[in-house]
Amino acid sequence: MSIASTANPPRVGAAVEPAAHEDRTAFSFLLVAGLFFVVSGLVAIIIAAKLQMPTLLGNVSWLTYGRLRPIHTNGMLFGWLLAADMGLCYYLVPRLCGVKLWSEKLGLATLALWIVIILGAVVTLAMGMNQGLEYAELPLWLDVLVTLAWVMFGVNIFGTIATRKYTQMYVSLWYIMAAILWTAFVYIVGNFGTLFTSGVNQANLNWFYVHNAVGLIFTPLGLALGYYYIPKAAETPLYSHRLSMIGFWSLAFVYVWTGAHHMLHGPISQWLQTVAILFSVMLMIPVWTLVWNFLATMKGQWHQLQDNVPIKFLMAGTVFYLLTCFQGPMHSLRTVNAIVSKTDWIVGHAHMAVLGAFSFFAVAGAYYSVPRMLGTRLHSQKMANASFWLWLIGGLSFFVSLWIGGFLQGLQWNDPSIPFIDTVKFMAPFWTVRLLGGTLMFVGILLFFWNLLMTYTGRHERPAVS
């Protein structure tokens, strides 16, 4: 299958000798991310249980809902998912470039700083230090450290890409480079730009940040993983590289404008709301190009769903991505938004994007890459398979219960004759299903982390089969 060497010769002046991949940074990032996944998942179970039992742990200030909830969101977004995405970038970028990582030392220093940031976040948020802005709760000094760590990550990745052997770049590299630049822009606006504004302007900037934290940080990184791991795990070429580039550049043009759809029917300009709706609907273009590309790649390979665990995660993640990206444009329409905005529907939607689509891609990447990093085989395929079914069943019951409950909640909110407290009581059974689904997912997280840990500790007992 390797026609690349003749069709695309090495760049002039590039290193021509094959390079070994150390993967120390990549593996360390993944292991730390897995640990934070467990901790953030445990916090998630506690706060979901508090919706059932509001007095649970209520007498301990640092275990109250208001303190644990930002620990959960920041832990999942930055402790787990972004750290896992970074680890997988350290794995796949050198391979796609045909060279070693620019600097393993810089990568490990970035990891050390990242650990300081996450631990600092847990301590400060538990102490009640909170800037009061969604996803931007961390104190200013931690925001500065995040920016510094991101610059270190960016230097390492761009340094690797600059020394690549081939001129034409695979689509995953485009998504990763864009994610690094977009993250810098989005994070600075959301965490520093908001300090210079107030009122509705601050809310507008904050929603720009919150939406694009998913849209311009986790989406491009997640899609980079999908584009890399689906062909690799299925051992079949991508359906169309040309189509993937159309998807990338169309996403680059339309995603940035969508944040204001979180403020529809709010006190912002109508033209701004309309712009946000228009570009939200236009998101269908990059989403459909991508989903079609992923599904068409699997043509003739669907039998692999029986026993290929990374492919199971990747295909389930693709379906979750399609669903979440159909929901997004639809509830940016004014009429639909009037029902679902601020309800539990949105909570289900956000969880399906981060925990369903992009976490599934990252977990698939970890299951595929970690044994290859260590030159071994996965500790237990059965355990990996069990984690998939726990996540799928738990996730579906979690997401669907919140969609149904949230939609009915929205209809009730639109009826002024229903007292608000009755709409809260109405949600109790849906929150019970959410807790049960979340618990299943948490067991899946434990199995995932244990499997990675055992793969590492038993790596010498199970040499890789070539």
- Does 301 interact with another protein (rule: CB under 8 A)? no
d(CA 217, CA 222): 9
| 168: helix, strand or coil | coil
Nearest approach, Cβ of residue 342 and another protein (Å)? 22
Q: Least Å distance between CB 263 and another protein? A: 11
What does the per-residue mask of binding to another protein show for 94-133, with x meaning CB under 8 A? -xx-x-xxxxxxx---------------------------
User: Residue from 12, 20, 60, 465 that binds another protein (CB under 8 A)?
Assistant: 20
Q: How far separated are the first and last CA of the chain, in Å rounded?
A: 18
Q: Judged by CB under 8 A, does residue 372 bind another protein?
A: yes
The neighbour count for residue 60, using CB atoms within 10 Å, is 8
167 touching another protein, by CB under 8 A = yes
CB atoms within 10 A of CB 145: 17
| Paired tokens of 350 | 């956000």
4 scored as a contact of another protein (CB under 8 A): yes
Q: Are 140 and 121 in contact (CB under 8 A)?
A: no
Give the amino acid at 208.
F
With CB under 8 A as the contact rule, the residue among 13, 18, 54, 132 that binds another protein is 18
We find the least distance from the C-beta atom of residue 36 to another protein, in angstroms, to be 25
CA torsion angle 286 194 44 212 (round to 10): 0
Report if residue 22 touches another protein, rule: CB under 8 A: yes
DSSP-assigned states of every residue in 95-127: HHHTS--S-HHHHHHHHHHHHHHHHHHHHHHHT
Interface with another protein, residue 238, by CB under 8 A? yes
Which H helix or E strand runs over 346? helix 344-351
Smallest gap, in angstroms, from Cβ of residue 196 to another protein?
A: 9
Q: How many residues bind another protein (CB under 8 A)?
A: 58
Q: How far is the CB of 78 from another protein (least distance, A)?
A: 23
Q: Find the Cα–Cα–Cα–Cα dihedral 355, 357, 359, 363, rounded to 10°.
A: 140
**Hunting for tokens 């507008």 — which residue is that?**
204
Minimum distance from residue 135 beta carbon to another protein (Å)? 17
Is 269 one of the binding residues for another protein (CB under 8 A)?
Answer: yes
Residue 183 or 324: the one with the smaller Cβ distance to another protein is 183
Q: Least Å distance between CB 28 and another protein?
A: 14
Residues linked to residue 10 through DSSP beta bridges, in sequence order: 166
Q: Determine, following the binding rule CB under 8 A, whether residue 302 of this chain makes contact with another protein.
A: no
- Residue closer to another protein by CB (options 106, 336) is 106
Segment interacting with another protein, rule: CB under 8 A, options 242-250, 303-311, 424-432, 444-452: 242-250
Distance, CA of 152 to CA of 180 (rounded, Å): 11
Q: Is 377 a binder of another protein (CB under 8 A)? A: no
CA distances from 6 to 17, 51, 377, 412 (A): 16, 61, 32, 64
Please tell me what DSSP assigns to residue 64. S
382 binds another protein (CB under 8 A): no
All residues at 6 or more sequence positions from 190 whose CB lies less than 8 Å from its CB, including other chains: 133, 135, 136, 205, 206, 208, 209, 210, 212, 213
- Using CB under 8 A as the binding rule, whether residue 265 contacts another protein is answered as no
- Residue 10 phi/psi, 5-degree rounding, is -60, 150
**Which residue in 33, 77, 84, 171 binds another protein (CB under 8 A)?**
171
Report residue 308 CA to chain centroid gap.
22
Tokens of 443: 């067991």
Of the two residues 23 and 344, which places its CB atom closer to another protein in the complex? Answer: 23
Residue 133 DSSP symbol: S
Amino acid (one-letter) located at 171: V
Coil, helix or strand for 432?
helix
3 binds another protein (CB under 8 A): yes
Q: How far is the CB of 451 from another protein (least distance, A)?
A: 21
Interacting residue with another protein among 231, 371, 405, 406 (CB under 8 A): 231
Q: Which of 58, 61, 66, 249 binds another protein (CB under 8 A)?
A: 249
Per CB under 8 A, contacts with another protein among 307-346 are none
Return residues touching another protein (CB under 8 A): 1-5, 7-8, 18-22, 95-96, 98, 100-106, 163, 166-172, 185, 189, 197, 200-201, 204-205, 208, 228, 231-232, 235, 237-238, 240-242, 245, 249, 252-253, 256-257, 268-269, 272, 372, 375
